[in-house]
Amino acid sequence: MTASALFHTCYQDLLNGPLSHWLNTLPQQMDSWYRDDLHGEFKKWQRLLGKLPQVPPGNIDLRESVTVGDASSTDPYTQKQIEGLLRQFMPWRKGPYFIHGVHIDTEWRSDWKWERLKSHIEPLKGKQVLDVGCGSGYHLWRMYGEEAAGVYGIDPTQLFFIQFMAVKHFLGEAPVHFLPLGIEQMQPLKAFDTVFSMGVLYHRKDPMEFLNQLKSQLVKGGQLVLETLIVDGDEQTVLMAGERYAQMRNVWFLPSTSALIVWLKRLGFSDCKVVDESVTSTAEQRTTSWMESHSLQDFLDPDDHTKTIEGYPAPKRAVIIATKN
Ligand SMILES: Nc1ncnc2c1ncn2[C@@H]1O[C@H](C[S@+](CC[C@H]([NH3+])C(=O)[O-])CC(=O)[O-])[C@@H](O)[C@H]1O
């Protein structure tokens, strides 16, 4: 498949909508995937995507989980084929997914994160929503389960795009789209009623610019749902990690929730509320047969799980909601 064919397969139905002008930049982006695919990995994934069997979706649940069909919705041979193909897209980090009886037991229980925030946010029914840093797109399906009218996720990681396309293959037609972009590549669209960004703020070197970019995607009065790593402390407390935090490179600022609220207010948000704070457990983030490498257990001090292996406070996350003035 060529870049332009891939583009038309994925985004044809968006070309007449509000994102049309901006979407014109995507074919160039996709071109670079083919150009830079030195080991042919992207083309291999695409070939494998093309082999996924066509199975009528059967019962779909997106309200309580991401489930399509069950073990009886196809024959054992097809089920094995589905599992074998999906395993080619490992590591699976965000999920879980249940596809025709195949349980993709991902590293993260992303459903727990959704449970923690779902009752606190503005109802999504009929809304246009954007998820910045959507990973494999798990939460996009849950947003659609809450009857959002248009669901868009952006994430620059190719494997997550492929994983999303694999899940979408089984879920069939839905106004749920993954755009393979980083936030810095998006024009300020001021088009979304709710903008989510979960697990991304601490990866950004300039958190103020990032929060402003999120704001610039919202309509006036729209809601930001921000989930990020935090530390305990007052309005003046922000931890800047060294080379690594819980073995992750690229971790910059971990503010206290009070500091984060000061940032949000200064940037023009109001009604800022902390709706959840929780320490990440090794039950929520762990090694599985779908993500076989190290996970949280290995990133904590073996003698003291309140600390990371580098001696920082162990991962604690907060969900904050705020309104764009
Ligand atoms: N510039 C960028 N723009 C957008 N996304 C980016 C960028 N850089 C990295 N990402 C993406 O942000 C996601 C962060 S993971 C959170 C997933 C989900 N939201 C979750 O809450 O489970 C958390 C973690 O792995 O620490 C990854 O999918 C990156 O590819």
Report the CATH fold assignment for 109-324.
Rossmann fold (3.40.50)
Report, in angstroms and rounded to the nearest whole number, the Rg of the chain calculated over CA atoms: 20
- Distance (Å) from CA 203 to ligand 1 centroid: 8
Q: Is residue 200 within 6 Å of ligand 1 at its C-beta?
A: yes
Measured by CA distance, the residue closest to atom 8 of ligand 1 is 182
Can you tell me the distance from the alpha carbon of 88 to that of 76, in angstroms, rounded to the nearest whole number?
A: 19
In this model, does residue 23 exceed pLDDT 90? no
32, two tokens: 């670079």
In this model, does residue 25 exceed pLDDT 90? no
pLDDT at 24: 72
**Which of 16-25, 32-41, 188-197 is predicted least confidently?**
16-25
259 or 33: whose pLDDT is higher?
A: 259
In this model, does residue 226 exceed pLDDT 70? yes
- Distance (Å) from CA 154 to ligand 1 centroid: 9
Atom of ligand 1 nearest to the CA of 202: 26
Taking alpha carbons only, the member of 249, 230, 268, 19 closest to residue 130 is 19
In this model, does residue 142 exceed pLDDT 70? yes
pLDDT digits (tens, 9 = 90+) for 106-117: 999 999 999 999
pLDDT at 15: 75
Can you tell me the distance from the alpha carbon of 167 to that of 104, in angstroms, rounded to the nearest whole number?
A: 11
Angle at 224 (CA atoms; ends 133, 118), nearest 5 degrees = 85
Name the amino acid, one letter, at 184: E
* Model pTM above 0.95: yes
184 is in an annotated binding site: yes
**Which of 30-44, 81-95, 106-120, 208-222 is predicted least confidently?**
30-44
Atom of ligand 1 nearest to the CA of 135: 28
pLDDT at 92: 98
Q: Is residue 284 within 6 Å of ligand 1 at its C-beta?
A: no
Mean pLDDT on 235-249: 96
Confidence of residue 143 (pLDDT cuts 50, 70, 90): very high
Mean pLDDT on 90-98: 98
